[in-house]
Amino acid sequence: MDTFILELRRRAARWRAEHTQVAPAALALNLQRARIVAPVVAAINLALVIWLGLALTVRTLDDQVFELTLALLLTHLAMGLIFGALGWAARALRHSGHALGSKALPLVMAVLALTFSAGFVALNQLVFPGITTFWMGCMLVAALLYWPPGRSAGVYLAAYAWFFEAVGWSQTNAAVLHANRVNGLAAVAMGWVLSLLLWRNFTNLQMYQKQLESANAELQARQKDLQRLTRLDGLTGLYNRSTFVELTREELARAQRQGSATSILLLDLDLFKHVNDTWGHPAGDAVLKNVAAVANNSVRSTDLVGRLGGEEFIILLPNTTMDAARKLAEKLRANLQRTPTAWEQGLINSTVSVGVASTTAAENRDFDHLYTSADKALYTAKEKGRNRVE
């Protein structure tokens, strides 16, 4: 028994937490339905007012039927006007976004719907002992609006209290009155059960949707990570060779259309093998990361920096002439020379040799030609003593 009670408490706590999460969605849906249902109810009631009005004018009715018809007409008129006002208020709340009004309006609409349905039953008791209208009201309110079980229970209990008194005013037959009150209790019980089932179904769907959205977000994040890994060098975070070549070819095509110059810088660390042999490969990785950071900080935001592999880097300079590229390359070389890599308790000095190549729109050289020219220039820089730009 204790285990059963503990499980009920756990489930109730879980339900309360879920209800809190889905409450905003339920509120929005209730208000949306109120904007649709209220005008429809108003239109139906006004149509009944016209029909009852015609019945009063074109038929000869005895006093009791006349009084009942007039009472029904006035009640339908009141209901139509009230629900018309509720429909207008619901549309106004869509634009104003008033939190309290948005929360209260569907509740007021449900209370009024149950109040009028009980009132119609009370009037009909004069000629008909059934409570079909109240049954329909209980079911429709449950089907149209989503509420937590506690709130819907309060609404249905209040509706039954009004129904209990209302039918007693017009039904004089004690047996019929007792049967109607019992049936009315069954109607509110069935309405509350239906409301509970629909609320739990709505809650489950919302929670599944939240889980699906979370899973989709995680999947998209993983896809972005995978895309990043396939496009970037894992050690330095720079563009890898294939991505750099792809972006360079796109830039060359753009430059050809716009008639601008394009340059590339090919960088190779001097005596990098000596770094690995002296301090180890982890130190060599630190030097490569340092070169990538200095290169990114030395170029413009429109320039692209990539790692071709090993100790070789490449930089794309859009809309840049040979002279401008040579100056930027010299700046980069100097920055690297005076920015040693911090390693353990000391510093690792490193330099680079740089080969520069450029093309104009008139020359229309592709990436392979640019790369070959830059590689030849880099080889010349190595031959002339390293740590220089050619």
Answer yes or no: 218 catalytic. no
State CA 153 to chain mean position distance.
32
Which one-letter DSSP state was computed for residue 147?
-
- C-alpha 300: how far from chain center: 35
**Complete DSSP assignment for 330-342:** HHHHHHHHT-PEE
Of 7, 251, 311, 344, catalytic: 311
Torsion sign (Cα): 180, 183, 189, 194 = negative
Handedness of CA 148, 153, 156, 158 (dihedral sign): negative
Which residue has 């100790």 as its token pair? 311
CB atoms within 10 A of CB 45: 20
Q: What is the radius of gyration, based on Cα positions, of the chain?
A: 40
Determine which helix (DSSP H) or strand (DSSP E) holds 113, and give its type and residue range: helix 99-124
Q: How far apart are CA 370 and CA 320, in angstroms?
A: 14
Any idea which residue has 């002439």 for tokens? Answer: 321
Residue 30 CA to residue 103 CA, distance in Å, equals 9
- The whole-angstrom separation of Cα 219 and Cα 221 is 5
d(CA 329, CA 381): 12
Check if the beta carbon of residue 286 is closer than 8 Å to that of residue 340: no
| Maximum alpha-carbon separation in the chain | 122
CA distance 387 to 390: 10
Residues taking part in catalysis = 311
